[in-house]
Amino acid sequence: MKFQQPLIRGKLIRRYKRFLADVLLSSNEIVTAHCANPGAMLGLTEEGAEVWLSPAQNPSRKLRWTWEMIRVGNSMVGINTFHPNTLVHEALTKKRIPELSGYTDMRREVKYGKSSRIDILLEDAARGTCFVEIKNVHLKRGLGAEFPDSVTSRGAKHLQELSDMVSQGNRAVMVYLVQREDCSDFRIAADIDPTYNLSFQSAIANGVEALCYSCKLSPVRISLHRPIPIVF
């Protein structure tokens, strides 16, 4: 996924009200950016950290900037939760996720379950139907990536709905997309959300599959990088 314009670098002043962040640009201008991330963003809000913003393409938009990335140590970390669906869709189009190859049709945001929409629906006359749910991951503790970084009842609901699809004879896959390159493995943050952990274990037992991929990030583009092993 290539950004329409290269990102603009700045320094984080603060994140507040969940969806807002003040940033000092290199021009010494202080701007308020949209923070497209409802999570706790643990370890990603340090004052003075190097961050990158994208300018709004819509001139009538209230906030002219969107916070996209932050540097943590030597690594870039993507914090915009709007991107994972596009990144996975792009990777599937380029056949970069072999576990999900072989389907002839692909649709996004298809209604299913109880008033939900599946992120990607894969279909094939021979292989059947595959429901793909995607979660953004940016939390790192130790050497590994973890999800979630805050309690997510919605996430637990999605796992149950994927289990329901499997019980109806379909394939269902949870894709955890890590918007960073510095993680050796992935696991569920059971201490942060025990209910989600139980839902995950139950979904796996019921036949839901789980995949995890990392991303390569730069101020110009974000792309799928490599698979990461999941610690069950």
- If you average pLDDT over residues 16-33, what whole number do you get? 96
State how far the Cα of 21 lies from the Cα of 229, in Å rounded to an integer: 33
- Report residue 58's pLDDT band, with 50, 70 and 90 as the boundaries: confident
Strand ranges in the chain using DSSP code E only, listed in sequence order: 8-16, 20-25, 30-34, 50-55, 65-72, 75-78, 105-112, 116-124, 128-137, 139-141, 144-147, 171-178, 186-188, 209-217, 222-227
The per-residue pLDDT for 122 is 98
Residues of the chain with CATH 3.40.1350.60: 84-227
pTM of the model: 0.95
pLDDT per residue over 73-93, tens digit each?
999 999 999 999 999 999 999
Check: CB of residue 186 under 8 Å from CB of residue 227: no
The angle formed by the CA atoms of residues 199, 201 and 203, to the nearest 5 degrees, is 65
- Summary mean pLDDT of the chain: 96
Domain at 84-227: CATH architecture: 3-Layer(aba) Sandwich (3.40)
- If you average pLDDT over residues 88-117, what whole number do you get? 95
Cα dihedral across residues 149, 153, 158, 163: positive or negative: positive
pLDDT at residue 99 is higher than 80? yes
Burial of 214 per CB tally in 10 Å (0-12, 13-18, 19+): buried
The per-residue pLDDT for 43 is 94
The per-residue pLDDT for 14 is 97
Check: CB of residue 65 under 8 Å from CB of residue 31: yes
8-78 classified as CATH 3.30.300.130? no
Take residue 120 and report the two structure tokens written for it: 């990607």
- If you average pLDDT over residues 94-118, what whole number do you get? 94
- If you average pLDDT over residues 119-148, what whole number do you get? 97
Residues of the chain with CATH 2.40.50.580: 8-78
- % of the chain exceeding 70 in pLDDT: 100
Check: CB of residue 65 under 8 Å from CB of residue 34: yes
- If you average pLDDT over residues 133-156, what whole number do you get? 96
